[in-house]
Structure 1
């Protein structure tokens, strides 16, 4: 008898964990195929540290062939699913169209930048979802400080030294916290900037406080650290219009800047909406077993799926890495059960705490609901990330030690151009192909 083929679309937290757990459960009894645009799993929570020169890009890029030897990696971006014919269509990195059939399908395509109808934002802002965007931001910050150093016009110098982050959730808060330290250090190496006011950072959100949805003490810690560091935290304020010269805020202030970082949230991958199946908040409806109703051979998890939250009846689980990671494990177990190995179980999870890295020796955490801040929270945060990463732990730890002992290497690599990372991008994990 031929082995059943299980195709997993997307190698984010949910897809990678599904593949890893399935490979352990199947033990060669099933063919596991992972469709992904690149050959690594990206540990997104540490992306701000790549953007600010603490970690090298490969530290948080975990090799799929190197860590999932029993999983067949098919490089490509899935853009069509034939549910009746049980086939997945994709485009490989060289532009060739391919198809693959499946007996079981796991949709874990993840998410893309959330867009809002604000004039000028898609043209002048950049998101922060994938490695190309992080590498672009690192070059961009370095370039703006270096250009500010040689600017004759004080207005131009101030604009280049101003950075605006929209969205005070996990990502925006960490980008602002790390970015401020990074640009301060960069400015300290520039002759005409070291004796002037340090670079200006603004963190905006229409929410009443930073880190909305997280425990109050974490928000208070984050805002206190940011404020002491010199970040202007403006709650209840957002961008009304973006232009080449700067941004106009909803309180009618105009902020001259060349740097607008968009961290307002995410939306499910457009592939989900193309299926023609029921969705909730743009996410594919599934039952508590992560099964798509009417399609017993199809499962979905992570940001692409509206998974019922059994701890809060009537709600769906948030789009977080913690939920995606655990849903991947449940999906794998239920797929194995559908093939006759074990019994299926519903997805149920209670949060054990959160961690937010604020750069330097600062962090906010509440492991097992114990409120922590400062160096202790920093140790817990880094310990959590090392435990959660499926590889590269020693190299990541070594980079942290080197960062504590040495100054960062502030150079532009020029690998990712601005037009290669547009905000409106259905695949933020890949740079858009541009032609000179």
Structure 2
């Protein structure tokens, strides 16, 4: 008999934790585990703003899959469609080749993509902060604006190059603005032709509060930190139009700006739309065991699944955070094993451990286990949490070394020239236009239907 085939889609927190646990708990020859992911690393997403600001190198937050996974077959590509009747996933390799991958148990952890809206010029001119390449590109772009502003004699051009707008007042947007503002302020000393007062950062969010999940006190503290640094925060406002050299807000203001960073939320991976399954706010509806109703052998978790939050109750679903994704990965692995061995599946329960927001330098706000902290104590908790969450000792040492080096030696504000000739768009990094329709998926799996 052939071994049962377990296919895991997605190399993020959820997918990697699932694969690691399966490797530890499967008996010899009990099953074959395959992981489909476009990249050879697990991205530690919460530290991306520090990559964009140059505090950390990209390798610090890219944890090698092959260092931690020894028995898992890794396919370099993403899943672009699933036929749950034929039990086949269609994978698009990094060469663009489409291949059919049959499975007995499927674990869907494809994560999320940047959520965009139908705003004129948004997809043409905005930059995201969801991938490692985007963070590296954004750093290059911001430094290039300083270089170009220092070189020009056109006052209008200088103003537009030195104004930066971040849309989204959640963790990603707030940390991105806070970390990048620190490097532009520090870099100004190396540009004698620039007036530091001309460098402006602006956070825009339609919500009435900054990071409402933190509560009123910590949200207010974070706001004071940003304002003290000169970052303007506009709440209850959104973007009406984005152009190459200016941004129009919904309150009528027109800001000269050549850098708009879009961090206004995430949406489940487009892969979810290929299944024909029930969704809630774009996320797959799953049971508290993280099984997908009606689909035999299919589990879903992480950002792409609406996993019931039994610790909160009242119909709540787990937020798309790293701590939930990691724990869901372990729980799904246990349930896949239980399914293989004919044992009952267990529900997923986890009480949120709290939140950490690193604002750069000594500034942070944290809420570990409900305790509200600010300043240096909050920063110690935030960085301690990140170090603990990194999955390999090499990643921990590399990150800690980068922090110490940056704190003592500062930054050299070097551009690598990445994508310098052609401005990059959101879809250039997230490949959201590569997915198949349900009909295309069935066409690719017809040969297997006939075989069975």
If the TM-score is normalised by the length of the shorter chain, which range does it land in?
Answer: over 0.9
Match status 1:110 vs 2:95:
no
Report the CA distance shift for 1:51/1:426 in structure 2 as closer, same or farther (over 3 A). Answer: closer
Cα drift, residue 343 of structure 1:
4.4
Cα drift, residue 213 of structure 1:
2.4
- The answer for the alignment partner of 2:226 in structure 1 is 226
Match status 1:312 vs 2:316:
no
Cα drift, residue 412 of structure 1:
1.0
**1:292 aligned counterpart, secondary structure:** coil
User: 1: CA distance between counterparts of 2:49 and 2:431?
Assistant: 15
- The answer for the alignment partner of 2:263 in structure 1 is 263
Instruction: Give yes or no for contact 1:333–1:342 (8 Å, CA) kept in 2.
Output: no
- Superposed, 1:334-353 pairs within 5 Å as 334-340=335-341, 343-353=344-354
Tell me which of 397, 402, 406 is aligned to 1:403: 406
Moved more, 160-169 or 119-128: 119-128
Which runs of 5 or more structure 2 residues have no equivalent in the other structure?
435-452
Cα drift, residue 18 of structure 1:
1.0
- The answer for the alignment partner of 1:81 in structure 2 is 82
User: 2: CA distance between counterparts of 1:46 and 1:238?
Assistant: 26
- The answer for the alignment partner of 2:367 in structure 1 is 366
- Superposed, 1:62-141 pairs within 5 Å as 62-141=63-142
Deviation string, structure 1 residues 174-225 (Cα, Å, up to 9, x no partner): 00100100111222201201x4415100001011111022222221121111
**1:168 aligned counterpart, secondary structure:** coil
Instruction: Give yes or no for contact 2:133–2:429 (8 Å, CA) kept in 1.
Output: no
Report the CA distance shift for 1:70/1:278 in structure 2 as closer, same or farther (over 3 A). Answer: same
Instruction: Give yes or no for contact 1:421–1:428 (8 Å, CA) kept in 2.
Output: no
**1:296 aligned counterpart, secondary structure:** coil
- The answer for the alignment partner of 2:430 in structure 1 is 427
TM-score by length of 1: 0.95
- The answer for the alignment partner of 1:434 in structure 2 is none
TM-score by length of 2: 0.92
Instruction: Give yes or no for contact 1:168–1:264 (8 Å, CA) kept in 2.
Output: yes
User: 2: CA distance between counterparts of 1:21 and 1:426?
Assistant: 30
Match status 1:19 vs 2:19:
yes
**2:175 aligned counterpart, secondary structure:** helix
**1:295 aligned counterpart, secondary structure:** coil
- Superposed, 1:319-338 pairs within 5 Å as 319-338=320-339
**2:164 aligned counterpart, secondary structure:** strand
**1:213 aligned counterpart, secondary structure:** helix
Report the CA distance shift for 1:382/1:233 in structure 2 as closer, same or farther (over 3 A). Answer: same
Instruction: Give yes or no for contact 1:161–1:199 (8 Å, CA) kept in 2.
Output: yes
Choose between structure 1 and 2: higher helix proportion.
2
Cα drift, residue 238 of structure 1:
1.4
Which runs of 5 or more structure 1 residues have no equivalent in the other structure?
432-436
User: 2: CA distance between counterparts of 1:418 and 1:27?
Assistant: 52
Instruction: Give yes or no for contact 2:37–2:75 (8 Å, CA) kept in 1.
Output: yes
- The answer for the alignment partner of 2:3 in structure 1 is 3
CA RMSD for the aligned pairs? Answer: 1.8
Instruction: Give yes or no for contact 2:159–2:198 (8 Å, CA) kept in 1.
Output: no
- The answer for the alignment partner of 2:148 in structure 1 is 147
Instruction: Give yes or no for contact 1:203–1:231 (8 Å, CA) kept in 2.
Output: yes
Cα drift, residue 307 of structure 1:
1.0
Cα drift, residue 66 of structure 1:
1.0
Cα drift, residue 17 of structure 1:
1.1
- The answer for the alignment partner of 1:207 in structure 2 is 207
Cα drift, residue 342 of structure 1:
5.8
User: 2: CA distance between counterparts of 1:103 and 1:412?
Assistant: 47
Match status 1:248 vs 2:248:
yes
- The answer for the alignment partner of 1:60 in structure 2 is 61
User: 2: CA distance between counterparts of 1:339 and 1:276?
Assistant: 25
Deviation string, structure 1 residues 392-423 (Cα, Å, up to 9, x no partner): 10111001000110021211112235857422
User: 1: CA distance between counterparts of 2:281 and 2:97?
Assistant: 33
User: 1: CA distance between counterparts of 2:295 and 2:423?
Assistant: 37
Report the CA distance shift for 1:417/1:308 in structure 2 as closer, same or farther (over 3 A). Answer: farther
